[in-house]
Amino acid sequence: MEINPALKKYPLYAIIILVIFGLKPSGVLFRDAWVDGMPFLLLGLISVFAGALVTPVLLPFVPFRSFALKGWLVGLISTSLTIRFFGLFDGMNKIFLIVAVLFFPLASSYIALQFTGSTTFTGMSGVKKELKFGVPLYIAGVILSVIFMVIFKLGQLGVI
């Protein structure tokens, strides 16, 4: 997946994140949405660039032959460095950190896997094998992330 197609989906992702973080018993608060959702918006952008730009540029130098693993590794490093550099979740609920480290490297991995269509050495059987292992992990990662966020939100709303 090139940067443009990935970024076309970014506004939808941003809206979902802003609604999740802005949702309060009194309605959707834009200040809370912006302040609390900012780390996730930034990490979303970073994961796109990690998967669609950094991984392809550094393709021969990133370990592993699997594009999914390459993307995951670059995504994990990019996510970790961004969190550390900006102190993104300092003083915030640890559940955000868990979701970020779980979700964003997987997003980079998925985006990097799309680059198989742009190389001159990947074959259909190899990509199918990657997808056979990768897709269940991507789905599990998304489901777990949603569960964690729901748990956090329910706790924030005082339901649990």
Partner 1 sequence: MKYLVGVTTLKFFPEKCTGCGMCIEVCPRGVFKLQDKKAIVTDGDLCMECGACANNCEFGAITVNSGVGCAAAIINSMLYGGEPFCGCSGDKGDGCC
Interface residues with partner 1 (CB under 8 A) are 1, 59-60, 65-67, 113-114, 116-117, 119-131, 135
Report the distance separating Cα 104 and Cα 78, nearest Å: 9
Amino acid at 124: M
Rg of the Cα atoms in the chain? 17
Q: How far is the CB of 51 from partner 1 (least distance, A)?
A: 12
Question: Cβ closer to partner 1: 24 or 65?
Answer: 65
Q: How far is the CB of 68 from partner 1 (least distance, A)?
A: 9
User: CA–CA distance from 50 to each of 7, 12, 30, 66, 73 (Å)?
Assistant: 13, 19, 28, 16, 9
Report the distance separating Cα 85 and Cα 120, nearest Å: 36
Closest CA to 115 of 10, 7, 3, 13: 3
Question: Cβ closer to partner 1: 102 or 131?
Answer: 131
Report the distance separating Cα 3 and Cα 15, nearest Å: 19
Q: How far is the CB of 66 from partner 1 (least distance, A)?
A: 7
Question: Cβ closer to partner 1: 66 or 82?
Answer: 66
User: CA–CA distance from 147 to each of 96, 98, 125, 150, 151 (Å)?
Assistant: 12, 12, 33, 5, 6
Question: Cβ closer to partner 1: 8 or 129?
Answer: 129
Question: Cβ closer to partner 1: 61 or 85?
Answer: 61
